[in-house]
Amino acid sequence: MLVAGLSLLAALFLPYRQYMDQEESVQRAEQELVELREQRTQLEERLEKANDPIEKERYAREQMSLVYEGDEIFRVVVPDDVLQLPEGWHLPGVAFLVTGKLP
């Protein structure tokens, strides 16, 4: 009789445990969904900003050195003794761009 009672209790507890595990899984999935929606919103904002012509021009000027006719260009020249590139530097043109002298 005791064994039957314990078996019945175990049979009732097992579905409850599974239900609780599923509830935790659902909560984790919902939290992940919220985070993904926030990430999507941020990416949509970045895409909208990237499609703005003014923003494209600003990026091209800052990152790609875009200049228009009539713009003034300034070049900062660093003395040779200040520039210390590592041995085997793979971009030899950098020394010329920074110091104004051929290596």
Encoded amino acid at 54, one letter? I
Residue 55: which residues within 8 A CB-CB, separation 6 or more? 49
Alpha helices for 1-103 (secondary structure H): 2-50, 53-64, 93-99
80 or 72, greater pLDDT: 72
At 9 the pLDDT is 64
6-58 pLDDT tens trace = 676 666 666 767 777 788 888 999 999 999 999 999 999 999 988 999 988 88
98 or 43, greater pLDDT: 43
Q: Sorting pLDDT into bands at 50, 70 and 90, what band is 85? A: low
At 5 the pLDDT is 67
The Cα–Cα gap between 61 and 69 comes to 13
The Cα–Cα gap between 56 and 36 comes to 27
